[in-house]
Structure formats: C-alpha cells, structure tokens
Structure 1
Amino acid sequence: MEKVPMTVRGEKLLRDELERLLKLRPQISAAIAEARELGDLKENAEYHAAREEQGICEAQIRDIEYKLSVAQVIDVTKIENSGKVIFGSTVTVVDVDTDQEKTYQIVGDNEAEAKAGRISISSPIARGLIGKEEGDEVVISTPGGDKVFEIDQVQYI
C-alpha cells in the first residue's frame, strides 16, 4: 500500500472529524430505534431518513479511517531549514511580470484548498516549486501560458 503525504494539520482535521462522526453514531442508532417504534417501516420516512444518515456516516468513517491508514504524516517544523521547497513548506513567490506576491503551503491532495493558499503536491505550481530554493526563478506552465515566479521566502511552519 502506497503511503500518501499529509501535514500534521491535515491529520488533526481528519482525526477531529472522525471523533465527531463516532460520537454521532449512537445518536443515529437511537433515531433508528425511535423511528422503528412508530410502526410500519415501509412507509416510515423518519426510519428511512435515519438509515440513510447512518449509511452516509459509516461511509465517511470508513473513508477517513482509510485516509489515516495510508497517511505518512510529515511535520516540517522538525526538518532542518535548508531553504528548499519541500512538502509542507510555505512558499512566498513573486510573479516576475506583475510583482504580485502569493503565498502557498504545499499539502497533500486531500488537504488542498486553493482559496486558503494550500495547494496540492501534485498541482503544476507545487511540482514546479519542489526542490527549488529562495532566490530561484521558476517557470510554471498555467492554462493562461507560462508564468515566471521568483521564490522570495521558504518557511517550515
């Protein structure tokens, strides 16, 4: 089974969600039992809704447990600061053409959220940045054409 990189933050979020879902299980079971007592199960909307909610909850639990089982948690705060862009590092880049500055954290596929500045390790930007150092210029192919970025800062936070 191939391991999937994940940040400490990503692991904590998954564990918190798993804990929430596990606490929800008994509530769903109680709702099913309560709906069963109402009588005919064929036409019992509360029963069917509770069973559907149970199925969704169990699927989410299995999904999170799988993600955690294949996760390789990488804590960048414990890595010596070499100035190189690696998984988990936070990179500030400057668009050479526009002088616009952007900051990205390189995270696992499941943690990516572009609006929050977290980009997937498999994204074109992250692939172009990995292994580079502060001061390097990087050409990244984007749908709008090639962009040239200068790596301004690399942080391990």
Structure 2
Amino acid sequence: MNKVPMTVAGEAALRAELEQLKKVDRPRISKAIAEAREHGDLKENAEYHAARDQQSFAEGRVMDIESKLAEAQVIDVTKIPPTGRVIFGTTVDLINVETEEAVRYRIVGEDEAEVKSNRISVTSPIARALIGKEEGDTVIVRAPGGDVEFEIDQVQHI
C-alpha cells in the first residue's frame, strides 16, 4: 500500500470531520429515517428518501475518510530541521522573475490543497518543480498557460 503524505493539520481536519459524521450526523440521520418511516408509505415518502440519500452520502464519506487516514503518512515539518530546501509541508515565498510579483505557497497533501488559501498539492506542477530546490534557486514551472520562471525567495518550516 502506498502511503500518501499529509500534514498534521490535514490529519486533524479529517479526524474532526470523521468524528462529526459518526457522533453527530449518523444519529441525526437515523432519527430522521425513523421519523419518516412513521409517516407511512415509504414509496412516496420524500422525507424518507431524502434521509436515506443523506445516510448513503455520510456512510460513503466515512469510508472515504477512514481509507485516507489509513493510507496517510503524517509529516510534521516543524520536527524536521530547517535546511533551506523545499520539502513537503514547507511554506515557500516565490518571486515571478518576469513580473516581480510575490506569491506564497504551502505544499500539502492532495486532500488539503486549496488554491484560494495558497495551499498547493505536492503533486501539482508548481510543487513538483520546487521540491528539492533551495532559497535563491530559479525554477521554471511548466503551467497550462506557458512556462513561468520563479525565484525561491524564502523557505519556511512552519
């Protein structure tokens, strides 16, 4: 089984969602199904079918999260001595060589990636180009819109 890298925060978020699903959502959905059954004919009972759909979604999500947690290799970047090199979990400040625009990315696991929050997946083109490089290096990122050249300004283990 291949281990999938995940940050400590990513693991905590998945565990919190799993607990919410198991301890709050499951009982609420079960209660809704029981109440809908009391209304009689299940074939034409929209509340019953809606509750069953919710139950199906919740159980699927529980299985998905449990699978992800089982395959996760949780990496706490704060426990790794800083080397100035870009590794999984580091936060990287980049400067676009052409426009001199600065941008900051945190390299995280696939499930944690959220571009709006500048968290990029370790499998993204930008992260793949950055991994192993160090402060001061220039990197060319092959993006769908064309190649973009960045200079690594700072690497932080936070």
- TM-score range for the pair, normalised by the shorter chain length: over 0.9
Question: Match for residue 40 of structure 2?
Answer: 39
Question: Match for residue 50 of structure 2?
Answer: 49
Structure 2 segments unaligned to the other structure (5+ residues): none
What is the CA–CA distance in structure 1 between the aligned matches of 2:135 and 2:35, rounded to whole Å?
A: 61
Q: Does 2:133 correspond to 1:140?
A: no
Supply the AA of the counterpart residue of 1:84. R
Supply the AA of the counterpart residue of 1:20. Q
The SS at the match of 2:5 is strand
Supply the AA of the counterpart residue of 1:108. G
What is the CA–CA distance in structure 1 between the aligned matches of 2:125 and 2:98, rounded to whole Å?
A: 19
Supply the AA of the counterpart residue of 1:19. E
What is the CA–CA distance in structure 2 between the aligned matches of 1:41 and 1:148, rounded to whole Å?
A: 61
State the 1:144 CA deviation: 2.4
What is the CA–CA distance in structure 2 between the aligned matches of 1:46 and 1:138, rounded to whole Å?
A: 55
Q: Percent identity?
A: 64
Question: Match for residue 9 of structure 1?
Answer: 9
The SS at the match of 1:98 is coil
Q: Does 2:35 correspond to 1:20?
A: no
What is the CA–CA distance in structure 2 between the aligned matches of 1:147 and 1:35, rounded to whole Å?
A: 57
Deviation digits for residues 65-119 of structure 1 (CA, Å, limit 9, x no counterpart): 1111100000000000000000000000101111100000001111111111011
Structure 1 segments unaligned to the other structure (5+ residues): none
Q: Where do 4+ consecutive residues of structure 1 move more than 3 Å?
A: none
Question: Match for residue 128 of structure 2?
Answer: 127
TM-score w.r.t. structure 2 length? 0.97
